[in-house]
Amino acid sequence: MRDWEALVERQLNDIALEPEESAEVIAELAAHLAESCEELRKQGMTEEEAVRRTIAQVEDWQKLSWLIQTARTKENVMTNRVKQFWLPSLLTLLLSMGLLMLVQVFGPNPWVIARKSAWSLIAPVAVVYLPWLFSLPIIGAMGAYLSKRAGGSQRAMLAAIVFPVLPYSVFFLVALPVTAIFNDRLGHNIMFLALFVGLLAWVVAPAAALLTGGVLAQFLFSRRSDSRRTVSS
């Protein structure tokens, strides 16, 4: 008995669909070919002739691959983008903002890192809300889960994970430098330090926390789908 699935998989190896989706397409087309071949055999054809006639149903596999890919993705670009990127991103952003507000109102005092030096009065300090920081891996994992569940690519998942630090990045990388340039009342030596400390406390540390949870979740999902694939094969 011919392995139709192996044949279709070989022919559609360059199809740009998510692994689960392409496995589904391969299984469906293989089932169709198997049934066509069986029907031709029932009509009295030799095995060889039936296989030849069945395979002849597809003249150009590359074209078929492209047609299927287009049919399954083109009309859904916006919806997919919303489901795979915007929805998880906005949800993680909202959750992280909401949680920060709750921690600020009800949580313990923030951890303030200040330099004990002669100029500590003017030196920039980092205000770190530790409970918020420790909750970010869960939010990152949630962003990765939502994006993955909607069939998001690695890029979409990573973007959804770190999206909550976007407002802080904009503030420290755009707003603060622009203010420093146009406001001559600010001491530029302090501004540089403030930028550096703020970036560390509000962008680098939260991004690292979000990524810890998100990447770990992503690793768990990929292990789970690998084991599923092993079981099904």
Partner 1 sequence: MIRAGVKRGTAELAVLSILEDGPLHGYEMARRIEEQTKGALRFTLAALYPMLYRMEQRGWIRGAWETSSSGRRRRCYRLTPAGKKKLSPLRREWAELFGALRRLTKVSHA
Contact positions toward partner 1, by CB under 8 A?
A: 24-25, 27-29, 31-33, 35-36, 39, 57-60, 63-64, 67-68, 70-72, 75-76
Identify the DSSP state of 107: S
**Residue among 63 and 224 whose Cβ is closer to partner 1:** 63
Please say which residue, 57 or 227, places its beta carbon nearer to partner 1: 57
CB 143 within 8 A of CB 214: yes
Query: Residue 136 is which amino acid?
Result: L
233 SS3 class: coil
Least distance (Å) between residue 231 CB and partner 1: 15
φ/ψ bin of 152: left (φ > 0), alpha (ψ from -120 to 50), beta (otherwise): beta
Least CB distance to partner 1 at residue 113 (A):
53
Residue whose CB is less far from partner 1, 64 or 103: 64
Q: What is the CA radius of gyration of the chain?
A: 27
CA distance 20 to 43: 35
Residue 24 vs 226, nearer CB to partner 1: 24
Helix (H) or strand (E) holding 128: strand 126-128
CB of 159 to partner 1, least distance (A): 24
Min separation Cβ 40 and partner 1, Å = 12
